[in-house]
Amino acid sequence: MNDVVEINRRKVFLQHEVASLLPLIYRLTDEAQHEVKKIVNFIEAHSDKTSSAVHELEARLSDIVTRWQSKIEKLGAQPKGLWLADFDSGDGYFCWKFPETEICYWHGYQDGFTGRILIKEKSRAHSYENSNCSN
């Protein structure tokens, strides 16, 4: 099996393709959110929220999130929020939010995060694979 990850691709994903990317996406997200948490803790501990040091830390936060979004896009997904990514399935999106460890959810193009449903509840007519996801 070839484990090469294509970058800068825009495609329709099958569930197993998203699942194969998930360990990388999880790792990238875990690293970015750890960086963000550390910086937020520094900012919260700083007494003068208007200081140049706090402004520099806020700029670093923005850079970390922008870098994460760029990496997610290069893998073919669409970042939709902080630590949230959608993968086009051809009739909607496989929807992933950190720290989920599996691709368990799907939503229609117009539905967004609040409209996501468990894949196993979605019609079998779409031939999505069974998953180990639970309610």
Residue with tokens 């208007």: 50
Q: Note the pLDDT tens digit of each residue in 1-34.
A: 455 556 655 589 999 999 999 999 999 999 999 9
Spell out the residues 6+ positions from residue 102 whose beta carbon is closer than 8 angstroms to its own.
19, 22, 131, 132, 133
What's the sign of the alpha-carbon dihedral 103, 108, 113, 114? negative
pLDDT for 123 beyond 60: no
| pTM over the 0.75 mark | yes
**Mean pLDDT of the region 63-84:** 96
The token duo for 51 is 């200081």
The pLDDT mean for the chain works out to 87
Distance in angstroms between the alpha carbons of the first and the last residue of the chain: 32
Assign 124 a pLDDT band (cuts: 50, 70, 90).
very low
Mean pLDDT, rounded, for 91-116: 95
pLDDT score, position 54: 93
